[in-house]
Amino acid sequence: MEMDSPIGRLKALIWAHSLIGAALLVGFFAVLASDRDPLFAAAIVGCALVWIAALRSLGRQASNVSPKDRVASKGLPGRVLAACAGVQFVGMAVGRTAQDGLLAMAYTIVAVTLLVRNLLSSGLGVPFHRKTWTTCLFLVGVGLGRHLFAWLLHGLRF
């Protein structure tokens, strides 16, 4: 798939829109959980409203993609997924780090990005490779679980 194709551009926009939406969602709850000024949360809500308004433009672009351009995705190569899995499981052997809380937040943003991308792609009729998506979500879930558990142990002073 080339980025010059309408479906390629649409998929790139869906990825970008998903990442921004995930950052806004996770950021909103992070601000609420912290001792920050509530004005930050209000600013995030304002940005989220702009994000929601941009969905209309994304929908228009999706309607301009012809059915013949909506070919099935091939997904990531198995070697890439195996390398990601290997890195994830080697990371488990490292143990706790001082940044487990930040890493948990980063994994949360990635997980929410994958979920939002699935919702947008399904809603707009844009094909995606379900096995790759499921594998990536599983790997992110393993990493998130590991860092949340380590963060919890650190908080409990274990």
19-34, pLDDT tens digit by residue? 999 999 998 888 888 8
pLDDT digits (tens, 9 = 90+) for 89-126: 877 777 666 777 788 888 899 999 999 999 999 999 98
Residues in the chain: 158
Question: Minimal CA–CA distance to 91: which of 144, 154, 156, 153?
Answer: 144
**pLDDT score at 14:** 93
CA distance 152 to 70: 44
Is the distance from CB of 121 to CB of 132 less than 8 angstroms?
Answer: no
Residue 148 to residue 151: CA distance in whole angstroms: 5
pLDDT of 51 reads 94
- What gap in Å lies between CA 22 and CA 61, rounded to an integer? 21
CA distance 52 to 131: 28
Residue 19 near residue 115, CB atoms below 8 Å: no
Rounded to whole angstroms, the Cα distance separating 119 from 157 reads 39
Q: What is the token pair recorded at 9?
A: 């551009």
pTM of the model: 0.82
Kindly indicate the confidence band of residue 3, based on its pLDDT and cuts at 50, 70 and 90.
low
pLDDT tier for residue 128 given thresholds of 50, 70 and 90: confident
Per-residue pLDDT, averaged over 130-158, amounts to 83
pLDDT at 41: 85
Residue 49 clears pLDDT 60, i.e. is over it: yes
Residue 137 has pLDDT above 60, yes or no: yes
Encoding tokens for residue 80? Answer: 């890439």
Dist. CA 137–CA 124, nearest whole Å: 20
Percent of the chain predicted with pLDDT > 90: 34
For 146, other C-beta atoms within 10 Å of its C-beta total 20
